[in-house]
Amino acid sequence: MSDTGAPGGPPDEPTEPPAGPHRVIGTPPPAQARTLLGDAPEAQDAAPARRELPADPSDKPRAKRAERLVAALFILSMLASIGFIAAYVGLEVGSVDATLRSNLALGLSMSVAFLAIAIGAVIWVRHIMPTVELTEQRHPMRSDPEVREAFKETFEEGAETSQFTKRPLLRRTLIAATLPLAAAPIVLLRDMGPLPGTSLRHTVWRKGMRLLTYGANTPIKPGDFSSPGGMITVVPEGFQDNQDALAAATAIIIKFQPGLMRFGKPNQVRGGYVTPNWTVDNIVCYSKICTHVGCPAALYEQTTHHILCPCHQSTFDAPNGAQVLFGPAPRPLPQLPITVDAEGFLVAQSDFHEPVGPSFFERG
Amino acid sequence: MSWITAKRRRPVAGYAVVLLGLILVGAIYATITASGESSAATPPTTSAAQIAKGQQIFDLTCATCHGMQAQGTAVAPSLIGVGSAAVDFQVSTGRMPAKSLDAENDRRPRQLNVAQTHAVAAYIESLAGGPAIPTPAEVGTSGANIALGQQLFTADCAQCHNFDGAGGALTYGKYAPALTESTPTQIYEAMLTGPEAMPVFNNTTITPNEKRDIIAYVTASRATPNPGGFSLGRVGPVTEGLVAFLGLLFFMVLTALWITAKHRKTADE
C-alpha cells in the first residue's frame, strides 16, 4: 500500500499532494483523512523485515525424494491429459459398446490428470515446504468510527453528485421502469393453469369398453382368466397406446377362489367390501394407481391377497374391497364395475365411481 | 519377507491389511456361493414305474409336510392338482425340500437330481393332473418378440421382480427373487403355476408365445452392458447414487485425514 494515494485513484495523482476537494467521484478520499482499509500506517516505516520462514526444509534428503515423486506425479498428470485428448480424438462413440469404452477412457484419464496434480501438490506442501507454525490475529469485524463516518460521507456525497436526489423526474421514471419488471414473474404464474376442472374425477373408462391385457392388447374372457390367484394389468380398449389416458385408467383384474371375497351392498362404494354386482365370476377389477401418490400398485401376493405399492409400502386387502391394511394410502383402491358383453368378453359397466389416484385439493 | 517387516509400521500398512482382508473374504464368498446348476432339458416320459419311483421319493422326502396322500397339512399346502410344472419348479430351484418354514424359500442348489425330480412330478401329476412341465420347444426363444416381452414384463412382472429382473421386497419378510439364474423352463413354470406369493399367469391369459417373449426379454436383459463397469445389482439409480455418495465421502474423509495429518518428522527433531 502506498503512503499517499487510495487504491483505484488515477495513476498520476499520487505524485503530487491532492489539491483541494477535487477527486474522482466514488473513490474514497485521501488516506490520511479517512482510510477504508484498517490499520496500515505502522508497518510502513518499519525496518526491512527479518526473514520469518526458513529457507530450506528440515529434512533435505527426504525433500529430495519427495521432489522426485512430485515430479513423477506431474509427468503422470501430463501424460494422462495427453491421453484424454487422444481418447477424445481417437475413440469412436457410434455404438453402446464404443461409448462405454470412450466414457471409461475419458473418465479415467481425466481423473488421473486431476488427481496426480492434487496428490503432487499435497506431497509438495507436506514434505518439501518447510514446516512452520504461524499465528495470525483476527481483526474485529466492525469498522472504526472514522471509517464508518468516511463511508457515510462518501455515500451521501456520491448520491448528491450523481443528481439522483436533485432530479425527481429521473428518479421517478427509473422507479417506474423497474416496477413492471418486478411484476413480470408474477404474471408468469398464469402458466400453472388452466384449472383441472373435473378431469381429475374421471378416467376414459366408459360403459361397454373392453378390458385388454396391457402389452398384448387382447380382450379377456372370464373363462380364459380362470386360474384362482391370477392377476393381470388391463387397459381400456381404444386407449391402449395413450399414455396420458393410461396414467389414470390402468387397472388390474384379480381372480379369486370362490367364497373369498367379502361382499357389501350392490352399487355402493364402501371401504372394506367388494361391490357384488361389479364383479364377474370371482373376478374383481381395481385401479392400479395407488391412492397415496399415484405409483402403480400391483404387487399382488396370491397367498395373502395383499396388493402392495412398491413406493411407500401401502398395503391393500384385495378380497375386502382393497381397503388399506398398512402404509400412507388414505383410501382403498377404487373398484371398476365390470361385466361381460354379448361376445363374452370382459367390459366396463361405467367409469370408476370415485376419483382414482392420489388426493387433490378440491376433493374434500 | 524383510520388506514387510520394514514397512509394517507405516500408517498405510493398516489400510492395506484391511483392504487385503476384504478382498480375500469376498473371493472366498464368491467361490463358495458359485455353484454350477444344470437345468432339466428333457421333459419326463411318464410310465407306471416312474410314478411308483416318484411315490417312493415323495414318501421319504415330501410327505412329512405335505401328507402321505399329498393332501397338505397345517404347515404345507395340498399338492393335489398342482401339476408337474409346479413340482419341477420348486424342486429344480432347490426351494423344495424346504430347509425351514420361513416366509420365503430361497433358491438353493437342487437336492434331487433331474430323474428324481421328474419322477416326483409324474407322481403328483398322476394324482389329479395340472399344468405340465414345458417341452424345450415351448421355452425356446428363437424368433421370440423381445420388445413385446419387455412390454409384458414391465406391465405384469416388473412391479415385484424389478424392471431388470433383480427382484425386490414384499410384505412380512416375503420377497420376489432375482431372475438372474432362472432357466427358461423355470421362468415358464413360475408363470404357469404361481409359486408362493406369485400370481398365476395361465396360458389363456398370457399365451405360450407371449411367455416365450417374456423369457427372451429376461434372458436377453442379462447381457445388457453396464455403463460404468459395475451393475450394482441393477436396482436403479438409488443404489448408484448411494454408492457414489458413500464412496466419494469415504475417499474425501481419507484425503482430508492425509492432508491434515501431523508431520512425525518435526516431532523427532
Question: In whole angstroms, how far apart are CA A245 and each of A232, A337, A349, B95?
Answer: 18, 18, 18, 41
Smallest CA–CA distance, residue A162 to chain B, in Å, is 51
Nearest in space to A125 (alpha carbons), one of A191, A168, A63, A193: A63
Residue A322: pLDDT over 70: yes
CA-angle at B191, arms to A314 and A253, nearest 5°: 50
Digit-coded pLDDT (tens) for B176-193: 888 888 888 899 999 988
Nearest-by-Cβ selection for B265 from A58, A100, A103:
A58
Strand (E) or helix (H) holding A307: strand A306-308
Helix (H, G, I), strand (E, B) or coil at A35: coil
Average pLDDT over residues A126-138: 84
Smallest CA–CA distance, residue B23 to chain A, in Å, is 22
Place of cell 413354470: B189
Looking at residue A13, what is its pLDDT?
Answer: 44
For residue A297, what is the nearest residue in chain B, using CA coordinates?
A: B159
Please give the residue that has the higher pLDDT: either B29 or B197: B197
Strand (E) or helix (H) holding A338: strand A338-340
Q: Which residues pair with A253 in a beta bridge?
A: A232, A285
Phi first, then psi, for residue B84 (nearest 5°) are: -70, -25
Question: Are the beta carbons of A308 and B152 separated by less than 8 Å?
Answer: no
ipTM score of complex: 0.70
Phi first, then psi, for residue A118 (nearest 5°) are: -65, -45
Strand (E) or helix (H) holding A251: strand A251-255
Lowest mean pLDDT among A22-26, A167-171, B153-157: A22-26
Digit-coded pLDDT (tens) for B115-132: 888 888 888 888 888 888
Task: Provide, as residue numbers in chain A, all residues whose Cβ is less than 8 Å from the Cβ of B204.
Answer: 221, 223-226
Nearest in space to A91 (alpha carbons), one of A113, A108, A112: A108
Residue A332: pLDDT over 60: yes
- For A21, which DSSP code? T
pLDDT-derived band at A126 (thresholds 50, 70, 90) equals: confident
Looking at residue A121, what is its pLDDT?
Answer: 94
CA-based radius of gyration for chain B: 25
Average pLDDT over residues B248-257: 92
Residue A60: pLDDT over 90: no
Which among A114, A126, A129, A227 is the top mutation candidate for probing chain B, defined by the most B β-carbons within 10 Å of its own β-carbon?
A227
pLDDT-derived band at B41 (thresholds 50, 70, 90) equals: very low
pLDDT-derived band at B73 (thresholds 50, 70, 90) equals: confident
Please give the residue that has the higher pLDDT: either A35 or A24: A24
Nearest in space to B162 (alpha carbons), one of B105, B217, B206, B108: B217
Looking at residue B45, what is its pLDDT?
Answer: 62
CA gap A243, B172 in Å, rounded: 33
Q: Does A132 contact chain B (CB < 8 Å)?
A: no
Residue B51: pLDDT over 70: yes
Looking at residue B267, what is its pLDDT?
Answer: 44
pLDDT-derived band at B3 (thresholds 50, 70, 90) equals: low
Please give the residue that has the higher pLDDT: either B36 or A325: A325
Task: Provide, as residue numbers in chain A, all residues whose Cβ is less than 8 Å from the Cβ of B151.
Answer: 214-215
pLDDT-derived band at A7 (thresholds 50, 70, 90) equals: very low
Smallest CA–CA distance, residue B32 to chain A, in Å, is 31
Digit-coded pLDDT (tens) for B209-219: 899 999 999 99
For residue A106, what is the nearest residue in chain B, using CA coordinates?
A: B228
For chain B, positions 148-187, list CB contacts with chain A under 8 A: 148, 151-152, 154-156, 159-160, 168, 170-172, 174, 176
pLDDT-derived band at B165 (thresholds 50, 70, 90) equals: confident
Smallest CA–CA distance, residue B105 to chain A, in Å, is 14
Smallest CA–CA distance, residue B214 to chain A, in Å, is 11
The residue type found at A343 is E
Residue A160: pLDDT over 60: yes
Residue A184: pLDDT over 70: yes
Nearest in space to A240 (alpha carbons), one of A272, A289, A283, A205: A205
Q: What is the mean pLDDT of chain B?
A: 81
A212 contacts A240 by C-beta, under 8 angstroms? yes
pLDDT-derived band at A334 (thresholds 50, 70, 90) equals: very high
Compute the half-sphere exposure of residue A43: CA atoms within 13 Å on the CB side of its CA.
6
- E strands, B106-243, are 168-169, 175-176
Looking at residue B1, what is its pLDDT?
Answer: 53
Q: Choose from A61-75, B109-123, B233-247 the range with maximum mean pLDDT.
A: A61-75
Q: Choose from A8-22, A73-87, A163-177 the range with maximum mean pLDDT.
A: A73-87
For residue A250, what is the nearest residue in chain B, using CA coordinates?
A: B155
pLDDT-derived band at A216 (thresholds 50, 70, 90) equals: confident
Lowest mean pLDDT among A128-137, B13-22, B86-95, B226-235: B226-235
Question: Are the beta carbons of A308 and B204 separated by less than 8 Å?
Answer: no
Lowest mean pLDDT among A9-18, B197-206, B220-229, B241-250: A9-18
Looking at residue B86, what is its pLDDT?
Answer: 87
Residues contacting residue A99 through CB under 8 Å, at least 6 positions apart: A93, B227
pLDDT-derived band at A122 (thresholds 50, 70, 90) equals: very high
Compute the half-sphere exposure of residue A220: CA atoms within 13 Å on the CB side of its CA.
38
Looking at residue A1, what is its pLDDT?
Answer: 39
Lowest mean pLDDT among A21-25, A186-190, A289-293, B109-113: A21-25
Compute the half-sphere exposure of residue B139: CA atoms within 13 Å on the CB side of its CA.
25
CA gap A9, A251 in Å, rounded: 76
Q: A292, exposed or middle or buried, with CB in 10 Å at 0-12, 13-18, 19+?
A: buried
CA gap B13, B4 in Å, rounded: 9
Residues contacting residue B212 through CB under 8 Å, at least 6 positions apart: B138, B139, B140, B141, B144, B149
Nearest-by-Cβ selection for B200 from A220, A229, A308:
A229
Strand (E) or helix (H) holding A30: none
Lowest mean pLDDT among A2-16, A79-93, B172-186: A2-16
Please give the residue that has the higher pLDDT: either A171 or B74: A171
DSSP A148-168: HHHHHHHHHHHHHHTTTTT-H
Length of chain B: 269
Residue A18: pLDDT over 70: no
pLDDT-derived band at B229 (thresholds 50, 70, 90) equals: low
DSSP A113-138: HHHHHHHHHHHIIIIISPP-----PP
Lowest mean pLDDT among A273-282, A346-355, B28-37: B28-37
**Checking phi first, is residue A97 left (phi over 0); if not, alpha (psi -120 to 50) or beta?**
alpha
**Checking phi first, is residue B30 left (phi over 0); if not, alpha (psi -120 to 50) or beta?**
alpha
pLDDT-derived band at A124 (thresholds 50, 70, 90) equals: very high
C-alpha cell at A228: 384362482
Please give the residue that has the higher pLDDT: either B252 or B47: B252
Question: Are the beta carbons of A232 and B201 separated by less than 8 Å?
Answer: yes
Nearest-by-Cβ selection for B210 from A216, A231, A308:
A216
User: What helix, strand, coil percent values describe chain B, rounded to 5?
Assistant: 55, 0, 45
Q: What is the mean pLDDT of chain A?
A: 84
Measured in whole angstroms, the distance separating CA A190 from the mean position of its chain's CA atoms is 23
Task: Provide, as residue numbers in chain A, all residues whose Cβ is less than 8 Å from the Cβ of B155.
Answer: 214-215, 233
Please give the residue that has the higher pLDDT: either A77 or A99: A77
Q: Choose from A8-17, B67-76, B214-223 the range with maximum mean pLDDT.
A: B214-223
Digit-coded pLDDT (tens) for A224-248: 888 888 999 999 999 988 888 999 9
Looking at residue A2, what is its pLDDT?
Answer: 40
Q: Choose from A46-55, B131-140, B252-261 the range with maximum mean pLDDT.
A: B252-261
pLDDT-derived band at B243 (thresholds 50, 70, 90) equals: confident
Question: Are the beta carbons of B229 and A131 separated by less than 8 Å?
Answer: no
Digit-coded pLDDT (tens) for B131-154: 888 888 888 888 888 999 999 998
pLDDT-derived band at B37 (thresholds 50, 70, 90) equals: very low
A335 contacts A269 by C-beta, under 8 angstroms? yes
Length of chain A: 364
Helix (H, G, I), strand (E, B) or coil at A326: strand
Task: Provide, as residue numbers in chain A, all residues whose Cβ is less than 8 Å from the Cβ of B145.
Answer: none
CA gap A298, A206 in Å, rounded: 23
Q: Does B208 contact chain A (CB < 8 Å)?
A: no
Place of cell 465421502: B249
Task: Provide, as residue numbers in chain B, all residues whose Cβ is less than 8 Å from the Cβ of A313.
Answer: 171
